[in-house]
Amino acid sequence: MKSKIYIAGKLGTESEKETLEEIDKLCRKLGFKTFLPHRDVGLAKGMKDVKRIFKGDVTEGFKKCKLVVANLNGLHVGAGTAWELGYAYANKIPAIGIKTDEKPEKALDYLSSIVIASTKIVTSFEELERELRERFNQEN
């Protein structure tokens, strides 16, 4: 069985969700199992959902996870995405960030040197596919 990939990113707009779903589609096309938080756990509609979301996203989502792919587009990474990347790093789970809206070196102020230093960043879906294929080849 191929590796499980956790897909991280902001969920505030339909465009952000669509980008995450595009990442998911690419990962599944390559044969990876995916965890997509808004698909697999749902969205928090209020404070009553917070514990359910945390348990689903962190306890279940990261279980047996071998890679995180994070959408880094926009003017900031997002608190949840930054937390997920930090959690992955602390647990020695590698991460690939995709930033298609501008080059990482132009986004230093809002990506942060910590995210840039700890995450492989690609700038296109083609580059992401190459990285994922390379990772797949390393597993076989």
Indicate whether 140 pLDDT > 50. no
Full 3-state SS string of the chain: CCCEEEEECCCCCHHHHHHHHHHHHHHHHCCCEEECHHHHCCCCCCHHHHHHHHHHHHHHCCCCEEEEEEECCCCCCCHHHHHHHHHHHHCCCCEEEECCCCCHHHCHHHHCHHHHHHCEEECCHHHHHHHHHHHHHHHC
Tokens describing residue 66 = 């071998």
Distance linking the first and last C-alpha atoms of the chain: 11
- C-alpha span between 59 and 90 (Å, rounded): 15
CATH of domain 4-139: 3.40.50.450
In the chain, the amino acid numbered 19 is: T
The pLDDT tens digits for 19-62 are 999 999 999 999 999 999 999 998 888 899 999 989 988 989 99
C-alpha angle 23/24/30, rounded to 5°? 95
CB 6 within 8 A of CB 35: yes
Please indicate whether residue 106 or residue 69 has the higher confidence score (pLDDT): 69
- C-alpha span between 80 and 1 (Å, rounded): 28
Domain boundaries, the chain: 4-139
Least confident of 29-33, 40-44, 79-83, 86-90: 40-44
pLDDT band at 1 (very low <50, low <70, confident <90, very high): low
Q: Would you say the pTM of this structure is higher than 0.75? A: yes
Average pLDDT, the chain: 91
